[in-house]
């Protein structure tokens, strides 16, 4: 395990027990068995560590949702969208609880808000793609409202998962929200959220990831990985970026090879978008 990942995992254990504010860098380094100097080689501060944990959680979440939207057929797509969302909240429930409880006290600048806004925009984009696929012209005047309704359902029901002590039936929950969403799509006629409102509340456009940035990320990931099919796939994808020779089907297969690697999920998402697969 690379040192940065070790620090994140061990810090999360402490944050889950004590919260952000009560956990010091010294406690984190003691828990990791490393020096403070080693910590600061990976993170400039505790706040940067927390932001990195947010990045990790949100990139896993967004890339999983995007994969479902791109690869599941229409009949089962909405169920998979909700089910994947709730599974992700279950998997990362400790961190999600901490973030919901302490983010206002932990960050007193715009950095966290801006970061969460970017991920919210990405989720909007994926969700809009899904509803346009599922309902087409049927929701042309209400699609932005529908996206907001879907996100509202996810947010509110996710709180049940985070704070309800007993295990919830995620299959039943997802089926219930599929029914509610279909009713809204078919019968809602009065739209409040319009394209003009979307543009008015948006911050500047999301930065477009360039080929050079992707190549830099691939180089970093290769250096973190041992020899494996995932590393070989990354090398071939790197070559495809430099000199495209492979068919879309092969490129899609290579991206599929790296998708579930813990260090490659986000770059697989970026590559899917870059190659439009």
CA 101 – CA 51 distance, rounded (Å): 15
The pLDDT value given to residue 150? 96
**Within-domain flag for 16:** yes
Shared domain for 38 and 52, answered yes or no, is no
Residue 70: how many other CB atoms lie within 10 Å: 18
pLDDT tens for each residue of 232-251: 999 999 999 999 999 999 99
CA distances from 134 to 19, 129, 242 (A): 41, 9, 35
* 130 & 9 share domain: no
Q: Which of 158, 94, 97 is nearest to 123 (CA)?
A: 158
- Same domain, residue pair 127 and 89: yes
Task: Please give the biggest Cα pair distance in the chain.
Answer: 61
Q: What is the CATH number of the domain that holds 77?
A: 1.10.357
> Within this chain, do residues 165 and 259 fall inside the same structural domain, yes or no?
no
Q: Residue 239 has what pLDDT? A: 93
Residue 102 lies in a domain: yes
Do 33 and 134 lie in a common domain?
Answer: no
| 206: in domain | no
Q: What integer best gives the mean pLDDT of the chain?
A: 85
Looking at the fold, whether 7 and 59 belong to one and the same domain comes out as no
In a domain, 163, yes or no: yes
Q: Which of 201, 230, 265 is the last residue of a domain?
A: 201
Domain of residue 7, CATH code:
1.10.10.60
Are 39 and 157 contained in the same domain? no
- Give pLDDT, residue 202: 64
Q: Which domain holds residue 180?
A: 45-201
Number of other residues whose CB lies within 10 A of the CB of residue 91: 14
Find out whether 69 and 77 touch, Cβ atoms under 8 Å.
Answer: yes
Q: Decide if 266 is inside a domain.
A: yes
- For residues 197 and 90, membership in a common domain is answered with yes
34-87 pLDDT, tens digit per residue, is 888 888 888 898 888 888 888 888 888 899 899 988 888 998 999 999 999 998
The tens digit of pLDDT for each residue in 118-167 reads: 888 889 999 999 999 999 999 999 999 999 999 999 988 988 887 775 67
Asked whether residue 87 is domain-assigned, the answer is yes
pLDDT grade, residue 262 (50/70/90)? confident
Structure confidence at residue 143 (pLDDT): 94
**Shared-domain flag, residues 83 and 61:** yes
Higher pLDDT, 135 or 10: 135
What share of the chain in percent tops pLDDT 90? Answer: 35
Global pTM exceeds 0.85? no
103 pLDDT tier (thresholds 50, 70, 90): low
In the three-class reduction of DSSP (H, G, I as helix; E, B as strand; rest coil), residue 62 is classed as helix
- Mark whether 84 and 193 lie in a shared domain: yes
Instruction: Among 149, 177, 201, give the residue marking a domain's end.
Output: 201
Q: What pLDDT sits at residue 42?
A: 87
Same domain, 74 and 189: yes
If asked whether residues 182 and 258 sit together in one domain, one would say no
| Total tally of structural domains belonging to the chain | 3
pLDDT band at 206 (very low <50, low <70, confident <90, very high): low
């Amino acid at each position: 395990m690379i040192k940065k990942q070790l620090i994140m995992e061990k810090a999360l254990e402490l944050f889950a027990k004590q919260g952000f504010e009560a956990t010091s860098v010294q406690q984190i380094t003691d828990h990791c068995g490393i020096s403070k100097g080693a910590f600061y080689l990976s993170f400039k501060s505790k706040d940067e560590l927390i932001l990195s944990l947010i990045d990790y959680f949100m990139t896993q979440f967004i890339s999983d949702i995007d994969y479902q939207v791109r690869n599941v057929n229409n009949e089962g797509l909405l169920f998979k969208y909700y089910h994947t969302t709730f599974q992700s909240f279950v998997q990362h429930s400790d961190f999600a609880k901490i973030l919901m409880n302490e983010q206002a006290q932990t960050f007193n600048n715009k950095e966290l808000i801006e970061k969460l806004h970017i991920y919210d925009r990405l989720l909007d984009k994926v969700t809009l793609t899904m509803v346009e696929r599922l309902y087409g012209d049927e929701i042309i005047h209400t699609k932005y409202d529908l996206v907001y309704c879907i996100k509202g359902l996810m947010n509110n029901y996710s709180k049940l998962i985070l704070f309800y002590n007993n295990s919830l039936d995620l299959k039943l929950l997802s089926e219930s929200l599929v029914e509610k969403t279909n009713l809204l799509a078919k019968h809602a006629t009065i739209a409040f959220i319009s394209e003009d409102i979307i543009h008015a509340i948006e911050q500047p456009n999301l930065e477009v990831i360039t080929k050079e940035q992707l190549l830099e990320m691939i180089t970093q990931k290769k250096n973190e990985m041992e020899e494996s099919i995932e590393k070989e796939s990354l090398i071939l994808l790197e070559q495809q970026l430099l000199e495209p020779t492979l068919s879309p089907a092969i490129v899609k297969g290579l991206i599929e090879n790296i998708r579930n690697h813990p260090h490659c999920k986000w770059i697989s998402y970026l590559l899917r978008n870059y190659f439009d697969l």
